Amino acid sequence: MAQSKSEIQSLLSGVNATGPRHRFGQNFMVDGNLVRLVADAGELSAADWCLEVGPGTGTLTEELLARAGRVTAVEIDRDLARLLRDRLGGREAFRLIEGDALASKHALNPDLLSAVADARAAGLVPKLVANLPYNIASPLVIEMLIAGVDLLAFTVQKEVADRFKAAAGGDDYGPLTVMAQMLGRVEVLRTLPPQAFWPAPKIDSALVRVRRDDRLGPDVGSFGTFVHKVFTFRRKTLRKALDQAGYDATAVVGGAGVDGTLRPEVFTPEQFVAMWRTTQA
């Protein structure tokens, strides 16, 4: 049963929290139908290990526990971590990791990485289902795909969802798009209104699902570096962008068979892979 705004306020008051904390990107989902919709998007069963980042007061967590074999929640807010231990700590299928899900912008918390590995060793399918804190959503999704999480279903700002799903040449297209689409198959399932959350954000959110489909393999780090460097000069021609990023533009353009007079933002993820491969020879 989803928690109402007043119920969430009461739970927060019980751990001396005055309200959602902006520095942690907290927005609590207060629409019960949407809580169930997010859980549905995870396609969970008893064979799954489910990760939730930013569980808050546990309204989605309880829905996940009813569906998945095991649930691990990662909560950075000490007060909310205490609340979750009090409410859910007695359940055998529940584990809480207190801390930041990210050790750095491009690295997961080591405890979280171990949890993913443990899930696989136990024969469970790792999935992420979460109302993600807005301030870490983009890097977290990419790192979870790299770590081997099979399916991710999450809410995020609509503008970020648009970047995951963008097509080459559009204003929303960038490094996040290229990385996400080379690591998985992205679906934007629906838009969520601000009123679904407390406090209500100023923009719409979206429910996104990514099914892992890794076409990069162990060289993902090198590819990511290449893409980010080239996109730093996205408004220049590809030749100039490659030169300024420190690559041999003639070799890359010729080897990949692309038009060096066009801007980097018009090339598809697959074309970026072809360009990057010329730098690996």
pLDDT in tens, 255-265: 999 999 999 99
Task: Indicate whether 87 and 141 sit together in one domain.
Answer: yes
What 3-state DSSP class applies to 168? coil
Domain count across the chain: 2
Task: Indicate whether 22 and 83 sit together in one domain.
Answer: yes
Boundary-marking domain end, from 198, 215, 232: 215
Task: Indicate whether 125 and 263 sit together in one domain.
Answer: no
Boundary-marking domain end, from 178, 198, 215: 215
Task: Indicate whether 95 and 173 sit together in one domain.
Answer: yes
| Domain boundaries, position 224 | 219-278
Q: Which residues of 57-92 are buried (b: 16+ CB within 10 A; e: fewer)?
A: bbbbbbbbbebbbbbbbbbbbeebbbbbeebbeeee
Report, as ranges of residue numbers, the positions in the chain whose pLDDT lies below 50: none
C-beta separation of 36 from 3 below 8 A: no
Task: Indicate whether 207 and 225 sit together in one domain.
Answer: no
The per-residue pLDDT for 1 is: 60
Task: Indicate whether 25 and 41 sit together in one domain.
Answer: yes
Boundary-marking domain end, from 180, 215, 250: 215
Task: Indicate whether 227 and 97 sit together in one domain.
Answer: no
Strand-pair category, 151-157 with 205-212:
antiparallel
Task: Indicate whether 206 and 241 sit together in one domain.
Answer: no
Residue 72, domain CATH: 3.40.50.150
Task: Indicate whether 132 and 227 sit together in one domain.
Answer: no
**pLDDT tens readout for residues 49-76:** 999 999 999 999 999 999 999 999 999 9
Task: Indicate whether 142 and 264 sit together in one domain.
Answer: no
The per-residue pLDDT for 128 is: 98
Task: Indicate whether 272 and 192 sit together in one domain.
Answer: no
Handedness of CA 219, 104, 68, 194 (dihedral sign): negative
The per-residue pLDDT for 18 is: 73
Q: Which amino acid is at 237?
A: T
Cα(235)–Cα(114) distance, rounded to whole angstroms?
Answer: 41
Task: Indicate whether 121 and 249 sit together in one domain.
Answer: no
